Every structure is written in structure tokens, then in C-alpha cells.
Amino acid sequence: MPETITSPQNPKIKDLLILETQSRERKARGLFVVEGRREFERACAAGFKPVTVFVREGEAEALTAKAHFLVSHRVYEKIAWRESTEGIVAVMRVRETTLESLQLSASPLVLVLERVEKPGNLGAVLRSADAAGVDAVLVCDPLTDLYNPNLIRASLGAIFSVPVVACHSDEAAAWLKRQGIAILTAQLQDSELYYETDMVRPTALVFGAEDTGLSPFWRERADAHIRIPMAGMMDSLNVSVSAAILAFEAVRQRNQQKRQ
């Protein structure tokens, strides 16, 4: 039977809280925290290894069987970020993915995010990437920790199912060129409508930061500049919305080609 922890001052609970709140500590130790049964099971299914599993007292036997430690309701309220997380918080080991380790399809579809800062936006992009079946997401010059708890929650566990690589922009651009993947940058200036652009070919869709957009680095290396038409007074969309629109346009074009 797992040991039961009843005090928030327990050293294991203090250590867990440090990992939840300190990106530097997560990176230094190669660990991250996942909260919720759905996210935990998706991480395990994707091959991530649990180090320590905390389960709230009174949970179902199947969940309790996975626990290294049971925690009282008072302690669980201390370590849980959400009210409804099915009573499980786990420390997992990070699994690094590199550009060279990516397994690509015959006609890859890749999303590239340059200096995207908000974990919620990145998590939402990963959900769309999972739904669209993209080959990989490249997070270039990252301003947020890929294992930030907010990002994991926003992605609903897609961070585990979608191959994600954090790298520098110059590394990503060089790799895309070596793979023969066309670089399409989402921008307003000097651009053509996205649905008039070939996305059946191997394609990388590149998006910039929420506040500053794409840097000249990516604009200069693009094979095409594309835009989403804006009928109202706004001149841009949230990066996660733009990524979803363009990723599913690529899916539409590829499905259409298969039917022909």
C-alpha cells in the first residue's frame, strides 16, 4: 500500500511545488509535472516515464494502484492547479526530441513558431497540430518552457503526442532546406492568399510572436508569403487560430488531391 502524506510541509510535497513553479529547476533536473488523469495517461502512452505519482486519498482503485504516494485532500488542494483533475499529479522525466530524430511522412507538414511566449497559445497550437496530424512542431528561440504546467494543460496532453523540438531559428531553417520542405511564412506584407498556395508539397508553416510578428530572418528565407484575408477592422488573428486555419487548409488540399 502506498505511503500516505498528510502534511503540506512534507519534503516530497515541497519538492513537487518547486518543480511546478520553477522552470529553471525543471530544466536542470530534466523533470516536469503533469496534472490530471487524461494528461498523465497520454504522457505514459507516449512513452514518458513517471518518477513519482501522487494520488488523492479515496480515488478509484485503478488510479490508486498507480500511486507511489497517497495524499490527503488538504495536501492535494495545495499541489493541484485545477479543481477537477481526477486526483492525480505526477512528476515525469523529460524526453528530448531533436531535429535529426524526427520521423517524417512522405510529404511532411511542419508548424514553426518563432518566439511565441504565451503557454496557452502554444498549447492551443499543439492541440490543432495533433488534430491535423502534422509531422512536427518546431518552437524556435523559445520564450516559454515546453513543460510549463500551463502549456501542458492548454494542450490537453498534445505536448506528448506531437513531436516538438525547441531549437534556434537558423537550425530550423537549415534543417527544413535539407529536407526539401517549402517554407511558407504567415504575414500581411507582400503575400498571397493562403488557399491559392500549394500546401500539398512538403510544407512548413511559420508563425511569429503574438506582439511583433515574424522576424526578417524567416521572411527572407521563405519560399512564399501567405495571408489569411481579414474582412473586419482587425489585421491579425491569435497565433493559435492562424495555425489551425492554415494547418487544416493543408489537410484539405491533400485530401482533395487524394480524391482526384
Cβ proximity of 137 and 129 under 8 Å? yes
What's the rounded Cα separation, in Å, for the pair 76 and 87? 8
Closest CA to 26 of 161, 145, 152, 159: 145
pTM, entire model = 0.92
Encode burial over 134-162: b for 16+ CB neighbours within 10 A, e otherwise.
bbbbbbbbbebbbbbbebbbbbbbbbbbb
76 neighbors 102 (Cβ within 8 angstroms) = no
Which residues are 183's β-sheet partners?
Answer: 204
Which domains does the chain show, CATH number per domain?
Answer: 3-93 (3.30.1330.30), 99-259 (3.40.1280.10)
∠ CA 142-161-170, nearest 5°, is: 30
- pLDDT attached to residue 83: 65
Tell me what the pLDDT averaged over the chain comes to.
93
Report the pLDDT value the prediction gives residue 117, as an integer from 0 to 100.
86
pLDDT attached to residue 85? 65
pLDDT by residue, tens only, the chain of 260 residues: 789 999 999 999 999 999 999 999 999 999 999 999 899 999 999 999 999 999 999 887 877 778 899 999 999 999 998 766 679 999 999 998 999 999 999 999 999 999 988 999 999 999 999 999 999 999 999 888 899 999 999 999 999 999 999 999 999 999 999 999 999 999 878 889 999 999 999 999 999 987 778 999 999 999 999 999 988 888 788 999 999 999 999 999 999 999 98
Instruction: Count CA within 13 A, CB hemisphere, residue 215.
Output: 12
pLDDT digits (tens, 9 = 90+) for 57-113: 988 787 777 889 999 999 999 999 876 667 999 999 999 899 999 999 999 999 999
